[in-house]
């Protein structure tokens, strides 16, 4: 693997790549959703979740992928905190509420039972919930129905990194009307690389004889125009996932410096379920000290950790770090709204 120079700015990206066909329809729905939230006085958070794909062919059979599951969990806690949530997620990735019943790890068919009753008309069958699963399902179902009744959750789906970029621009431009009352919780794992449609093979790449060499271009740095142009009032939280813990803080600080947004949440791949770090700029900025040999760090770090039970009892509810991440952000967002 080697790197070569690249060219795409956000501007040239949107000028050369095609929008998803449903974009205008999505925008119309978002506009309605936001109008209601403004009227009802709610803060709104955009939560992005799941990985983006990078198609290698126009008739896509193969694609690059990556993963992220933080968003679905966090969206539930934002809803609980009274926020309206635009949940923009990778198609088929986990969603708030239904995430508790993954078809792979906790399939709902397993806790439904068929009861057959006899009466004078013959047998009749009724479906019921296994007693030990009833309480938790009732809790999830109640939260789900409440959110649907209030109309505080709006779901958008993307598949490719191109869908993601177009949607993010459109949603953030619409959310600009909320000014400081909007938050952006950018938890999706967005590919850094993509294959411009102009370079894609039209048909399935034939395996033929030999290896496959793919050169992908860099995805434009989208946080810069998001902060500066699309939604200047928003409280913007981005994530930095690393597997080398020595890179975590330097990369988080570099992102803050480069894009000028509010918070970077750093997480190590293997520790992300019980430890994250909030990196922010010091406010007010530190005054320059006389001793110039000790440069002042312009950043604050706030480590958030939870205990993971060594041997959780089966069925015992497990504390989720997203609960504390969201609580901390809701507090900081409120202070930031007050400062305006």
Instruction: Give the shortest CB-181-to-its own copies separation in angstroms.
Output: 29
Question: In terms of C-beta density within 10 A (0-12 exposed, 13-18 middle, 19 or more buried), how is residue 148 classed?
Answer: exposed
| 30 or 255: CB nearest its own copies | 255
Helix (H) or strand (E) holding 131, with range, is: helix 131-150
Tokens (6 digits) for 270: 């293997």
Q: Between vectors from CA 47 to CA 41 and to CA 49, what angle results, nearest 5°?
A: 160
Exposure of 60 by Cβ count < 10 A (0-12 exposed, 13-18 middle, 19+ buried)?
middle
- 5 by Cβ neighbours in 10 Å (0-12 / 13-18 / 19+) ranks as exposed
**Shorter beta-carbon distance to its own copies: residue 210 or 284:** 210
Which whole-number Å values give the CA distances from 304 to 38, 190, 249, 262, in the listed order? 32, 24, 14, 17
Nearer of residues 41 and 208 to its own copies, judged by Cβ? 208
> What's the closest the beta carbon of residue 214 comes to its own copies, in angstroms?
5
Provide, rounded to whole angstroms, the least separation between the CB of residue 17 and its own copies. Answer: 16
What's the burial of 116, exposed, middle or buried (CB within 10 Å: 0-12/13-18/19+)?
A: exposed
Minimum CB–partner distance for residue 221 and its own copies (Å): 9
Specify the residue, 214 or 334, whose C-beta has the smaller distance to its own copies: 214
Residue 202 or 335: which CB sits closer to its own copies? Answer: 202
Cα–Cα distance, 66 to 159 (Å, whole number): 11
- Tell me how far, at minimum, the Cβ of 96 lies from its own copies, in Å: 10
- 14 vs 108, beta carbon nearer its own copies: 108
Closest CA to 186 of 244, 139, 227: 227
Bridging pattern class, strands 235-242 and 263-268: parallel
Residue nearer to its own copies on the CB measure, 137 or 176: 137
- Alpha-carbon dihedral 100, 102, 103, 104, rounded to 10 degrees: -130
Least spacing, CB of residue 10 vs its own copies, in Å: 15
The nearest distance, CB 9 to its own copies, in angstroms, is 14
Shortest distance (Å) from residue 157 CB to its own copies: 7
């Amino acid at each position: 693997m080697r790197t070569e120079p690249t060219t795409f700015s956000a501007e040239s990206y949107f000028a050369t790549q095609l929008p998803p066909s449903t974009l205008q329809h999505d925008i119309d729905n978002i506009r309605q959703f936001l109008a209601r939230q403004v009227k009802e006085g709610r803060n709104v958070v955009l939560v992005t979740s799941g990985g983006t794909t990078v198609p290698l062919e126009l008739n896509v059979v193969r694609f690059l992928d990556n993963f992220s599951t933080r968003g679905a969990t966090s969206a539930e806690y934002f809803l609980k905190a009274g926020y309206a949530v635009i949940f923009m997620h990778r198609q088929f990735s986990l969603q708030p509420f239904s995430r508790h019943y993954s078809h792979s790890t906790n399939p709902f068919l397993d806790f439904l039972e068929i009861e057959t009753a006899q009466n004078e008309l013959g047998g009749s069958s009724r479906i019921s919930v296994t007693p030990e699963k009833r309480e938790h399902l009732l809790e999830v179902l109640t939260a789900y129905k409440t959110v649907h009744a209030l109309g505080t959750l709006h779901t958008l789906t993307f598949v490719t990194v191109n869908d993601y970029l177009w949607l993010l621009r459109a949603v953030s431009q619409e959310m600009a009307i909320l000014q400081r009352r909007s938050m952006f919780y950018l938890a999706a794992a967005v590919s850094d690389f993509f294959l411009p449609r102009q370079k894609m093979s039209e048909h399935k790449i034939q395996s033929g004889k030999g290896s496959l060499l793919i050169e992908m271009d860099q995805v434009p740095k989208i946080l810069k125009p998001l902060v500066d142009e699309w939604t200047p009032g928003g409280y913007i939280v981005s994530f930095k996932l690393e597997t080398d813990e020595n890179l975590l803080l330097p990369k988080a600080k570099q992102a803050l410096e480069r894009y000028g947004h509010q918070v970077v949440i750093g997480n190590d791949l293997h520790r992300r379920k019980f430890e994250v770090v909030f990196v922010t700029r010091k406010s007010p900025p530190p005054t320059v000290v006389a001793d110039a040999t000790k440069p002042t760090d312009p950043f604050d770090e706030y480590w958030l950790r939870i205990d993971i039970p060594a041997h959780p009892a089966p069925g015992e509810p497990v504390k989720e770090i997203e609960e504390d991440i969201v609580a901390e952000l809701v507090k900081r967002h409120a202070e930031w709204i007050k400062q305006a």
